[in-house]
Amino acid sequence: MTIAEWLDIGWVDQIPVRGSRTVQVAGGDDIAVFRTAEGKVFALLDRCPHKHGRLSQGIVHGGAVACPLHNWRISLSTGEALGDDKGCTPTVPVKIDGGRVLICRASTLKAAA
Partner 1 sequence: MEYRPLNPGPDTREHLVVIGNGMAGCRAVEELLARDADRYRVTIFGAEPRVNYNRIMLSPVLAGEKSFDDIVINDADWYAANGIALVAGDPVMAIDRAAKTVTTRGGTTESYDRLLIATGSDPFIIPVPGKDLPGVIAFRDMDDVDTMLAAADAGGDAVVIGGGLLGLEAAHGLSLRGMKVTVIHLMPTLMERQLDEAAGWLLKNALEARGQTILTGADTAEIVGDAKVEGVKLKDGTLIPASLVVMAVGIRPSVALARNAGLAVGRGIQVDDHMVTSDPAVLAVGECVEHDGQVYGLVAPLWDMCRSLADGLVEQPTGYRGSVTSTKLKVSGIDVFSAGDFSGGDGCEDIVLRDASRGIYKRVIVKDDRIVGAVLYGDTADGSWYFDLLKKQEDVSDLRDLLIFGQAFASGGGAADPKAAVAALSADAEICGCNGVTKGQVVSCIAKGAHSLDAVRGTCKASASCGSCTGLVEMLLALTLGDEVQAGPKTMCKCTSFGHDDVRREIVAQGMRSIPEAMQQMHWTTPDGCSSCRPALNYYLLCALPGEYVDDQQSRFVNERLHANIQKDGTYSVVPRMWGGLTNPTELRAIADVVEKYDAPMVKVTGGQRLDIFGIKKEDLPAVWADLNAAGMVSGHAYGKALRTVKTCVGSEWCRFGTQDSTGLGVKIERMSWGSWMPHKFKIAVSGCPRNCAEATIKDFGIVCVDSGYELHVGGNGGIHVRVTDLLCKVATEQEAMDYCAAFIQLYREEARYLERTAPWIERVGVEQIKARIVDDTAGREALRARFLYAQSFSQDDPWAQRAGGAEAEHHAPMARFIPQEALV
Distance CA 4, CA 53 (A): 31
Binding to partner 1 by CB under 8 A, coded x per residue (else -) over 25-54, reads xxxx-x--x--xxxxx-----x----xxxx
Mark the segment that binds ligand FES (CB under 6 A) among 3-11, 26-34, 44-52, 102-110.
Answer: 44-52
Max CA separation in the chain (angstroms): 48
90 near partner 1 (CB under 8 A): no
Judged by CB under 6 A, the residue of 61, 70, 95, 100 near ligand FES is 70
72 interface partner picked from partner 1, ligand FES, none, CB below 5 to 8 A per type: ligand FES
Q: Which of 16, 31, 42 is nearest to 101 (CA)?
A: 42
Judged by CB under 6 A, the residue of 67, 76, 102, 111 near ligand FES is 67
Distance CA 75, CA 96 (A): 20
48 near ligand FES (CB under 6 A): yes
Q: How far is Cα of residue 32 from the mean position of the Cα atoms in its chain?
A: 4
Cα three-residue angle 57-110-30, rounded to 5 degrees: 20
